[in-house]
């Protein structure tokens, strides 16, 4: 009996920490479900593909200025998410909350960043997404 309980605990732990990497079309569907406007979807997909490769749990390397970037949208802990256990900074979230497979919090924060700075807030967009954008017509 103890073994069974332990087994289930391990399975639950494994599932809850499992990272999702979204394919291009999965990203399109996720973004649509979270209310991103249709005419900017290709930019968002391009941005995410370069920033995180579509992996929700990605934590970036420490930047030169000591900050770190988190999740699908690589949200920075200097201004936007709090790297403590208490929600804070401008998005009023913890950085852990923008790493989950449910992208609600990360999306709300990304929209806030976009509203303030546009796509230029992301190097991934600036450097890769101003020429050709991904084709999502089959999604």
Please choose, out of 16-24, 30-38, 106-114, 120-128, the segment that lies near ligand NAG by the rule CB under 6 A: 120-128
Give strand pairing partners of 93: 88
Alpha carbon distance 33, 40 (integer Å): 14
Alpha carbon distance 21, 40 (integer Å): 21
Locus of tokens 């000591």: 66
Contact map string, positions 36 to 65, toward ligand NAG, x by CB under 6 A: --------------x--x---------x-x
Among 4, 98, 91, 117, smallest CA distance to 52 is for 98
Please choose, out of 19-27, 28-36, 106-114, 122-130, the segment that lies near ligand NAG by the rule CB under 6 A: 122-130
> By CB under 6 A, is residue 23 in contact with ligand NAG?
no
Locate 115 and state its tokens. 């509203």
- Which of 39, 65 has the CB closer to ligand NAG? 65
Q: How far is the CB of 128 from ligand NAG (least distance, A)?
A: 6
């Amino acid at each position: 009996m103890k073994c069974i309980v332990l087994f289930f605990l391990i399975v639950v732990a494994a599932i809850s920490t499992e990272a999702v990497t979204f394919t291009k079309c999965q990203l399109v569907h996720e973004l649509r479900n979270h209310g991103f406007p249709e005419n900017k979807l290709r930019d968002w997909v391009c941005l995410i593909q370069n920033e995180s490769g579509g992996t929700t749990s990605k934590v970036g390397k420490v930047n030169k200025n000591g900050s770190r970037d988190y999740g699908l949208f690589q949200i920075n802990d200097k201004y936007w998410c709090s790297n403590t256990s208490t929600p804070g900074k401008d998005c009023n979230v913890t950085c852990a909350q923008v790493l989950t497979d449910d992208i609600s919090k990360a999306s709300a924060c990304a929209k806030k960043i976009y509203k303030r700075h546009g796509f230029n807030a992301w190097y991934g967009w600036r450097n890769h997404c101003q020429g050709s954008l991904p084709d999502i017509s089959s999604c």
